[in-house]
Structure 1
Amino acid sequence: MSAAWLTRSLGEVVAITKGRKPPRLISDSSSDSFPYATAEYFRSGIATQFVPSTDLASCVLTRSGCPVLIWDGSNAGEVFVGKDAVLASTMALIRPDDSVLDEGFCYFFLKTAFDKLNDGTTGSTIPHVSKHMLTALQIPILPLPEQRLISSLLFKLESAIALQAQLSDATAEIKRAAMRELFTRGLRGEPQKETEIGPVPESWQIKAIGHVFEIVQGLSLKGNLSGGSDGVPFLRTSNVYWGRIDLKNVSRMHVAPELIGDRWLRQGDLLVCEGGEIGRAAVWESKEPGYTYQNHLHRLRPLIGGSIEPKFAAAWLEVGFCHRKVYEGAGNKTTIPNLSRARLAELPMPVPAIDEQRDIVAILDAIDRKIELHRKKRTVLEELFKALLHKLMTGEIRVDELDLSALQAPAEPLSPAAEPAV
């Protein structure tokens, strides 16, 4: 923190009031009741319990804008912006002296203190915030106009992050709706027929996965896992998500290349999870050679002479397992459910003409690019927020040194015109 800044202990400039459990909790959200503000309520914005207005005399009320802190539990020290509600017994209200401390500035200061407060909790069974540690925190006392500028900037960044999350979620919902429609009606306006996997266009064939793909299960680790940078990179189920493969944490194993045999990955191979969330599937799109995969993954490669687009099959597996539940109970009935090679091979899937498969993939790829764009924007904004939060709260930079013009531009709404056509 800047040596030039005046600081005071937090206990000198805030009042701390612990929440109390009200006499009654009801599920009725009528005008005569107030939301019961738990940590989940602050995270989701959705109240599930309410307090009758007749019981408010014995309750602790929080108001919009005033910081509240999780006092008890594993997330003790996490801070939220208050809402008009009844505060839960596991929370505490932090009321700044508004003659010296802005509520928003106090909120962001407390965000910087989470690790210290969470690591310093007391209590042998249920951890709770150390009041002594909390009140001893040294908070900079800047001129109120500067505090408000700092909190305004950081609130704008938080809103921008939340917007990107909402846009990503909305686009993901568009994709789910598009997938349900595409795999039921197709793109050619054909009549439908009833099949074992539900209604599909009349010209679509239904084939067992093993009739269109060669299926090869991966290698067993057998203690060959290496923590070093040498060895053969291999993918695990934790690298495979629905529709994408994450290479941020790729394990390596010491194994002779000849033992890998035909388990080297090629561009276009479809990987399907045998364990974990069974059926989760994504296509290996990298041209980089030298990757293999573990035995909890199946590699599907189109049979010679077949007409199947692996990304179409990956999308269908998501529909079949997640949206239409055609594969409910597909896993082997063991202690830990798994999707054996034999069971995977016999699962039915739709096989339209290859050009229609590719057209469907193109539509879904366009939506995926939109989702990824929002994810990337959110990541960039989160990194900027963390950097500014630290630098502004320590005096490394001052708010009047920043060019804030980029934050004044209105966010692009998610309009029907911007959505991919289906």
Structure 2
Amino acid sequence: MTEKMQLSAVCEIIMGQAPKGESYNTARDGWALIAGAGDFSAGKLAPKKWTTEASKLSKTGDIVLSIRASIGAKVWSDGEFCLGRGVAALRAKAGLSKEFLWHWITFKEEELVAKGKGATFLQVNRGDIGELEMELPPLAQQRRIATVLERVDSLRAKRRKAVALLDDLAQAAFLDMFGDPVMNPKGWPVLPFGEVCETRLGKMLDSKRETGRSGRPYLRNANVQWFRIDTTDLLEMDFNGKDKVTYGLAPGDLMICEGGEPGRAAIWRGEVEDCYFQKALHRARPNVELARAEYLVWMLRILSMRGGLSDHVSTATIAHLTGAKLKLLPILLPPVKLQQEFTSRLEAVEEMKKRHAVQLATLDELFESLQQRAFAGQLWDHEAA
């Protein structure tokens, strides 16, 4: 039976420290400063500031770990960086594989996050990190375990990339068939959104009038993401008989965010029975003789990406897409037959995404199982230990 040991016994923990204010610069002189998870990008260090004076430095091969706000986020150090107070570097000592350490600290992330303390934002200290306990197999077995986990993790990454590429394919199909909706190079006829869809804002939440006697689930801004509606955390408020008619949802309704990220939209597919919507959202019901919901949601997405909504969003304090502004939004109207062809292409893409999602879920389960077994000693060759 292998004895448990604390991380501090097998790993050097270099806690970051903020350099003096006068040492900061943006001229890329001195050391690139890593202040926190905000300086991580796509699995690499992406510094935004530099300093001419550094006391805590990472080395190539260190794991740079975020220790505040986004506790547990991590990235490999590919050089010498100044460590700010929002990060720490983990440097494996002799007898500990850095790749094994990477996967083990991933496995321990929840435990580390639970140690976070702080009034304004959570953070962990050297003791919190160093007291994490591990069982350490021989170095050769560490490397074998890390290799197995890396292979499965690589397959998961490829599946995620495939899904992202399918999203790109849908966008490319839209632009190929309809052109840029901001510039309208194909000269499609244009109508205001209010003449294409019947629209209305949802019900205002008034806690003073809530009785709880006719509570029903409702959608709010946070539930509507691009192309999908998240129903995992629906709240409830009263919707009486009249409200049910006014604020009811039907499959095919287009739900559009009024604030937050104005214009963000998804199609309601009847995910929850007897569901309604709050004032932070617009409900749009397309005139099917003019437009398909699938076409409209992609139209809004590309307009949002290309600045086509900016003239229609009120920004005096917080950005809003008001009911009046939405009704005036110009919408390109290619033939419905062409829109339907686009919808058919989308359905094929979505079917491929579903298959990838099933395979990704299987890989996620496998990876989690392997992690559990690896760090519980169940993947070790105990005779060789």
TM-score by length of 2: 0.79
Partner of 2:349: 367
Q: Select 1:340's aligned residue among 322, 325, 340.
A: 322
Measured against aligned partners, the alpha-carbon deviations of 1:61-105 in whole angstroms (never above 9, x if no partner) come to: 4123x434345x33455544443333524444333333x322222
Partner of 2:148: 153
What's the CA shift for 1:168?
A: 3.1
Q: Select 1:69's aligned residue among 65, 68, 80.
A: 65
Tell me how far apart the structure 2 counterparts of residues 94 and 261 of structure 1 sit (CA, whole Å).
59
Secondary structure of 1:169's aligned partner: helix
Q: Select 2:250's aligned residue among 266, 273, 279.
A: 266
Secondary structure of 2:317's aligned partner: coil
Q: Are the aligned partners of 1:79 and 1:110 in contact in 2 as well (CA < 8 Å)?
A: no
Is structure 2 residue 345 aligned with structure 1 residue 385?
no
Tell me how far apart the structure 1 counterparts of residues 171 and 193 of structure 2 sit (CA, whole Å).
22
Partner of 2:183: 198
Q: 1:115 to 1:179 in 2, by over 3 A?
A: same
Q: Are the aligned partners of 2:64 and 2:89 in contact in 1 as well (CA < 8 Å)?
A: yes
Q: 1:6 to 1:36 in 2, by over 3 A?
A: same
Secondary structure of 1:267's aligned partner: coil
Is structure 2 residue 221 aligned with structure 1 residue 237?
yes
Is structure 2 residue 181 aligned with structure 1 residue 183?
no
Which of the pair has more CA radius of gyration?
1
Partner amino acid, structure 2, of 1:5: T
Q: 1:120 to 1:161 in 2, by over 3 A?
A: same
Q: Are the aligned partners of 2:210 and 2:237 in contact in 1 as well (CA < 8 Å)?
A: yes
Q: 1:50 to 1:124 in 2, by over 3 A?
A: closer
Partner amino acid, structure 2, of 1:136: E
Measured against aligned partners, the alpha-carbon deviations of 1:355-408 in whole angstroms (never above 9, x if no partner) come to: 11111222234334445554554455344434432332123x33579xxxxxxx
Is structure 2 residue 13 aligned with structure 1 residue 16?
yes
Q: Are the aligned partners of 2:58 and 2:83 in contact in 1 as well (CA < 8 Å)?
A: no
Tell me how far apart the structure 1 counterparts of residues 287 and 167 of structure 2 sit (CA, whole Å).
31
What's the CA shift for 1:262?
A: 4.0
Tell me how far apart the structure 1 counterparts of residues 257 and 13 of structure 2 sit (CA, whole Å).
50
TM-score by length of 1: 0.73
Q: 1:226 to 1:271 in 2, by over 3 A?
A: farther
Q: 1:278 to 1:144 in 2, by over 3 A?
A: same
Partner amino acid, structure 2, of 1:167: A
Q: Are the aligned partners of 2:212 and 2:238 in contact in 1 as well (CA < 8 Å)?
A: no
What's the CA shift for 1:41?
A: 5.0
Is structure 2 residue 168 aligned with structure 1 residue 209?
no
Partner amino acid, structure 2, of 1:93: A
Q: How does 1:107-122 map to 2 (within 5 A)?
A: 107-120=102-115
Partner of 1:137: 132
Tell me how far apart the structure 1 counterparts of residues 78 and 93 of structure 2 sit (CA, whole Å).
18
Q: Are the aligned partners of 2:15 and 2:56 in contact in 1 as well (CA < 8 Å)?
A: no
Partner of 2:92: 96
Gaps of 5+ in 1: 186-194, 402-422
Measured against aligned partners, the alpha-carbon deviations of 1:28-48 in whole angstroms (never above 9, x if no partner) come to: 69xxx9866664555432544
**Percent of paired sites with the same residue:** 24
Partner of 1:419: none
Q: Are the aligned partners of 1:37 and 1:85 in contact in 2 as well (CA < 8 Å)?
A: no
Partner amino acid, structure 2, of 1:15: E
Secondary structure of 1:85's aligned partner: coil
Q: 1:292 to 1:5 in 2, by over 3 A?
A: same
Q: 1:60 to 1:329 in 2, by over 3 A?
A: same
Partner amino acid, structure 1, of 2:379: R
Partner of 1:188: none
Tell me how far apart the structure 2 counterparts of residues 328 and 58 of structure 1 sit (CA, whole Å).
45
Partner of 1:285: 269
Is structure 2 residue 351 aligned with structure 1 residue 351?
no
Is structure 2 residue 169 aligned with structure 1 residue 169?
no
Secondary structure of 1:164's aligned partner: helix
CA RMSD of aligned residues (A): 3.9
Q: 1:387 to 1:257 in 2, by over 3 A?
A: farther
Higher mean displacement: 206-215 or 156-165: 156-165
Partner amino acid, structure 1, of 2:183: G
Q: Are the aligned partners of 1:67 and 1:79 in contact in 2 as well (CA < 8 Å)?
A: yes
Q: 1:285 to 1:59 in 2, by over 3 A?
A: closer
Secondary structure of 2:90's aligned partner: strand
Partner of 1:410: none
Secondary structure of 1:84's aligned partner: coil
Tell me how far apart the structure 2 counterparts of residues 74 and 287 of structure 1 sit (CA, whole Å).
34
Partner amino acid, structure 2, of 1:268: G
Q: Are the aligned partners of 2:192 and 2:329 in contact in 1 as well (CA < 8 Å)?
A: yes
What's the CA shift for 1:227?
A: 9.0
Tell me how far apart the structure 2 counterparts of residues 42 and 294 of structure 1 sit (CA, whole Å).
36
Q: 1:85 to 1:163 in 2, by over 3 A?
A: farther
Partner of 1:398: 379
Partner of 1:416: none
